Every structure is written in C-alpha cells, then in structure tokens.
Structure 1
Amino acid sequence: GKRELTISLGIATYNVHSKNKNDLIKRADEALYEAKKTGKNKVKVWEAEFSKQSEYNDKLAGILTGNAAYDYDKVSSMIEMLNITKSKNDKITKIYEMMKKLIIKTDSTESYIFFVEHDRILDMKRVVKDFEGFSEIGYFNKDIIREVRINREGIYTIDWEEIKEVGSLETIPKWHSICVLPLINGEKLKGILYFSAPAYIKEFDFKDFNYIQTLSDYISILL
C-alpha cells in the first residue's frame, strides 16, 4: 500500500502464433519486451514485427556456440554440403546425399523432400537413416505440409496426430518430433523438407530449425 504497482504483459497464443511451446515462450517474451519498451504498464499481443529486433542474433543460433569442437563440426557440415553441390553427380543424387547428411547431423530418423511446381506437389522422396537409397513412402503429416506450402514458413513441433506404435510403458504413444521447411529459390517455392524423429529420443528446437534451414539452402540451389 506504500507505492503503486504496475505490470507489463506479453502474450502469445497457442495455435495462432505457434504450435511449439518454446516458440510461444520466445514470442511472449518478445511481446513483453515491446510492452516495456513502449512505456510499460500495458499488455502487448505478439506480432511478427516484434521478432525483427532479435532476428540478427537468431541467425547464428544452432550454428556458432563458442564451443570449438561443436562449431568446427557445424562449419565442416556447411563445407561438405557445398562440396556436394559442386560434385559431378546428378541433381537427385546430390539431393539424396544432402538429405542423408542432414539426417545424421540432426539425429533424425527419416526425411522427406516434396518437389513443388506452380504451388503443387509433383513428386516426393523419402530417405531413412539406416537404409541406403530412397525408401518407400510412409507416414507424414499432410496438414503440416499444406500449412508450410501455403504460408511458406517453416515449423518445428510434435506431431500429435501421429501414433505409430505404443511406447515401452504400453500407455504412451510414440509421437514424433518434426521439423518442416520450405525450399525457396528466388521467390518461388520449389520444395519442402520434412525431418522426423521419435520425440522420446529427439525433440527439435529453434537451434535445430535454424541449422537445418541454413543447410537446406544448398538444396534450394539445386531446385
């Protein structure tokens, strides 16, 4: 009762601003920063422009950390991807080699590439971690693919719609963590990359997303 109390709030809404909890927390924090920056004692609901202030710093997330061994491995991967683009192999072989490398580097179990032309998916390929060559098409979340195709923005989340098998406790479904990104060459959407791993083994975060997005640009060049 001796002094006035004020409060600033930042709000991010599930399914409107993101479906990923870490993304929601990050965006709520950006909205909170905007509330404080513009005078305090107010509520701000997240808007895309709030992210622009932190966009520069985010570009290196998942690529450079200050850990010499980790950073060397990440930069080496970028050089390896570049060398694949310069090889004499045909386009499809290059894409396969890049997808295989990204699966290993991100601890994924499988990956899809969807080839897009005039905003329509014309073909798709699947690469599985412990299988040589392209594999038969299996399960993927069509709604997420549609969302990325329409919005041209990547997403990393848990695929709550997928239940492949029951977990070891026979009560917990083995949901998969997925990371899906558009492949844009110039201003045209040329493809979509889709990475998946069991959530109990690997859950994609923003650093994984940023790392895959950076290396996937080498694939975009080929499309």
Structure 2
Amino acid sequence: MLGVIDVLDGIVSKYKNLSLTRKIFFPIITVFVFVFFLESGYSLYFRRTVRTDFVEEAVFVLINALTVAFVTQTVIRNTILKRITYMVEAAGAITKGDLNQTVDTEPYDEMGRLAEAFNYMSAKVKRRLEAAEQLSCVDGLTGLYNHRYFQQSMTEALGSARNSKCLSLLFIDIDNFKNYNDTFGHQKGDQVLIKMADIFRGNIPPGAILARYGGEEFAIALPLSLIEAKDIAETIRKHTEDYRFFGCNDLPNHCLTISIGVAAYPEHAVNKSDLIKLADTALYHAKQTGKNRVAVSYSVLDELRDTLSQDELQLINSVKPMVTLINAKDNYTYSHTEMVIRFSEMIGKEMNLSDQDLKILKYGAFLHDIGKIKVSAEILNKIEPLSKGDWEAIKSHPEAGREIITPIGILAGTIPIIYYHHEKYDGSGYPDGLKGYEIPLLARIVTVADAFSAMLSERPFQHRKNPRAAITELKSAAGSQFDPHIVQSFESALNALVIQKAPVN
C-alpha cells in the first residue's frame, strides 16, 4: 500500500511541474487510455458471453464522450478559468481603489508567469498613483501641503474635534509682500516663502496641519484650545518679526512681518466653512488694524453664548457667517461695524441707558446691516452714481434684515434697530418715513453712530473725513437727519474721551 502511495505522490509532484499545455492534455490522455482499456475489456467480455448490438455500442460511445467532455471541462476550469477569474476579480478591486491586490503565482507555469506579470504591473500602478497623489497634495515651492489637501484634512480634523472639542485654525498672511516682491524680485520672494514655511514648521506641535493656502497666505489647523492656539500664533509672529530676511534694512520698521487671524471650534463655529470664514475675517481685521498682530475672531453675539438654548445657539451661529459674508462683499463693512458698535455704546452710556438697553444696542449695532446679504457686491462697491434700481436694492436691506432676525427670539429687541436705522428725524428716510420720536430711540442712536463711522471711512465714492469735520457735519444735519439730543450726547462723549487721553501738564 505504501508503495502505491509513493507512486501516486510522484505522479502528483511531476504533474505540478508540467507546463500548462501538458497539464491540460495529461488528464485527457489518461482518461482516453483508461476508456480504451475499459472498452477493450468490455468488448472482449461481450464477445465471449453475449452478442453485442448497435444500441449497446452507441450507449458505450456516448458514455465515453461524456466522460471525456467532463474531464476536459474540469481540467480547463481548474488550470485556466479559475485563475483567470481570480485575476479579473483582482483587477476589478484595483479599479475601485484597492491597490493592495495580488494573485497567487503558484504553480509557476504559464498562468503563474502571467500572475507574476499582473502583480508587477499592479505594484507599479500603486507606486505611480501614490507619487501622483503626493504631488497633488504638496506645494512645489515650500514643501507644505497645498490648498486642496488642507480642505480635505480640515473635514477629517473637524470630525475628530467633535469628540475632543478642540480645534483651532490660524490664517497667516505676509504683510506688504507685494511690495517686497516688487522691490527685490520674485526669486527673493520665493526664498521668503520657503523660510516662512520653515519658521512655521518649527513652531507647531505634532498633529498640526500646515499648508500654503495660496500666494503669501498660509493656514494651520491645530488640535489645541483657543488659548493654546493664540500662544502659538504669537510665537510664530514674534519669530518671523525677529528673523533677518534679505533687504530688511529697506523695509518699514526694518523687518518683514505677518498678520494672523484665529478662530476655534466650537467657540466660534461648528462647521468647516464657517470656521474658515471667521479665521479669514479675523485675519482681515488684523491687517486693517495695523498688521504684525494676532487677531482672534470676535463677535458681540459671543457674549450671548452662556444664556442661549441649543436651538438659539444654532440660530446665532447661522447669523454670524452672514455678517462675515457681508464683510467679504463690502470690504469696508468689517471695521465699520466695529466702529458703529463702539460709537453706539459711547452714546448709550452718555445717555445713561440701562444695562439691558446697552446690550440690545450693541447687538443691534452689530446686526444693523445684515440685510445687505441680499444686495449684490457690485452694487455695494459701485463707484459711479447708483441707478434707481440700485437704490431700490439698497433700500430693501432693512426689511431683509428684519426677516432674517425675526425667527431668533432672543434677538427680537434688535429688530427695531435693524429695520429703522435709515429713518431720518424729519421723516424723509426709509423704509416707513417715520419722524422724530416715532423712530425708536436705539435706532436713532445707531443712525448717528452709523453716519459718523461712514464719514471716517474711505469709500469708493467718498474720501475719509477727520473726526472734527465729521462732528461738524453731524451737527449741521441735527434736526433734519439726526436727533439733536443724540448728536449733542455723542459730541459730549467724544470730548470727554479726548480730555481723558490728553497729556497731563
């Protein structure tokens, strides 16, 4: 018995080493030999025992043919079709993105060599796709991640932050970089970008995502709290200011500086697009207020956070990006809104308003132009005189603002400010033509603060006035456009501020 087993093992071993063609035909020939001997024995038996007839011969031939066909189909399926099927399935998986697919090369016959070639091509495709993916994610100049990769990574980082409750975003812009390029050339400018990337890279913790967002603007996503992120931003700003870039002696303040805007999840926003907008707006504020500084996203509405229900908080968070979008549409609005808040508060305190009225006044001043979200940027920034249609669009924004804020119950007190801040004391304003004390008091205050801020701002159609000239114009329009008592209160508040800041002899 053992001898038979050894013989069979030898046959199997030799079969595995046969070529593919021989593997196919070896079983078929074996079956034919077996059938031949079987048929010979069968014929001899019937010749000795019974007469054969045509039917018996036909049946036997049919059985032989079916046996050979079955064996042939089985051999082809096991030696060729099954292995080809594996390769087809692997190729299908690769087309769906699974680049780790391989197929078995054993036994190493013609099909094995084909499988080996398939695995080689699959590995080569994987390497090339990984290289292409790397190139598509990295900025060629600085070696940092690019805008595309940063956007993808921010989505993942925000998903993780929902558990850790900790994600901060820094937007960084090089101050006066265009002037540097114009003065020293783009090659020196490129060297600055490369060095900036090194400075940023050396001052961020593991897990941070650093990218060149575009041009001279960079972005950093930090898995840190707002306070920690602000400290890192200040460290980066200081290291940049201290570094001696080429041509520093010919630059303002003899140094190259950066401005940084900071926003955090969930303090300022709960989704990616709003967080990016607020960080960008904070950066704009840092640029507008002197450059070479870190500005944290701020809204007077943040003061409401601890008093809001979850539904109200979601509504507040939906309003803040609208204000940000208005700032993007009308570049002067950001600093203008802040000035209107500050001037309104000064007037309110001078008039001894209650704490509750002061709070409503601040929120109303912040939101007074929110209806401009429905006015096109083209009209808001138009230099030439507005057409009748343009004026109608502008005059529609108080009603649009009222519609936006009405669903937010906690901000109901701001609606009269939003809706009536373009009414005039003599009744010639809009939208309802109210006059005198028919106009709500807080709306009359914001009207004065709004006009004063506008006069101090540089606009496409108007040059900036100095504060003294602006106050003179307010006084000349008291009784027609403005409440005389409020103008007087504002002048008193400004005079008191000047006296407080005057040097003491």
TM-score by length of structure 1 reads 0.28
Structure with greater strand share of residues: 1
User: Which has the greater radius of gyration?
Assistant: 2
